[in-house]
């Protein structure tokens, strides 16, 4: 799998990002191909939502995978510019052929001197990650990437739904069998 960043110019314009996001949504809906992206910003008010006046954050290490338990890169690996957001806070281009967006996991690592204000692990084609200077925000619970941890809530929901359907069918079959037994007496 060749990262999309290798296929695009080093400076990515906002219109190209919008076009890629639209292509990602369309491809994820129609053919099952996905484009993963990440953005990072300075969350000045610590609310976990990017506000219009909040600046992009460069050099945030981000990565993506179809495996939720993928290992966190080392600090040395994160020094590689291909794993970092650019000056516009955009990074993490990855193309996933035949993979739906809910099977893509996007991760980010807080840069030195910063703390996350948003989850740093997202189950989607796009992760938007907020960071504030250390000590400026109250502590809060953040979902962070860990080895051998599954973020696939959709899988659990699907399994639960399948079990519910199977249980319903068995109950219905049993009720019909009882009714036939009563009617046959």
pLDDT interval class at 114 (50, 70, 90): very high
pLDDT for 26 beyond 70: no
Is 0.75 topped by the overall pTM? no
Mean pLDDT of the chain: 76
- Helix-then-strand count for the chain, H and E: 3, 7
pLDDT for 50 beyond 90: yes
Once rounded to an integer, what is the mean pLDDT over residues 163-179? Answer: 77
pLDDT interval class at 11 (50, 70, 90): very low
pLDDT (0 to 100) of residue 140: 76
pLDDT (0 to 100) of residue 116: 94
Contact 60, 116 (CB under 8 A): no
Give SS3 for 51: coil
């Amino acid at each position: 799998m060749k990262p999309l960043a290798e296929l695009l110019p080093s400076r990515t314009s906002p219109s190209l990002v919008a076009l890629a996001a639209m292509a990602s949504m369309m491809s994820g809906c129609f053919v099952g191909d996905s484009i993963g992206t990440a953005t990072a910003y300075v969350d000045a008010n610590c609310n976990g939502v990017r506000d219009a006046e909040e600046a992009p954050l460069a050099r945030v290490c981000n990565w993506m995978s179809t495996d939720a338990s993928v290992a966190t890169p080392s600090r040395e690996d994160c020094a590689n510019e291909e794993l970092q957001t650019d000056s516009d806070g955009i990074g993490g281009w990855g193309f996933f052929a035949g993979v739906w967006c809910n099977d893509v996991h996007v991760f980010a690592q807080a840069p030195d001197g910063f703390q996350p204000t948003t989850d740093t692990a997202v189950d989607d084609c796009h992760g938007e990650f907020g960071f504030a200077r250390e000590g400026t925000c109250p502590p809060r619970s953040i979902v962070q990437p860990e080895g051998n941890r599954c973020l696939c809530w959709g899988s659990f929901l699907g399994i639960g739904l399948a079990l519910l359907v199977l249980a319903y069918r068995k109950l219905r079959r049993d009720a019909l069998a009882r009714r036939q037994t009563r009617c046959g007496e």
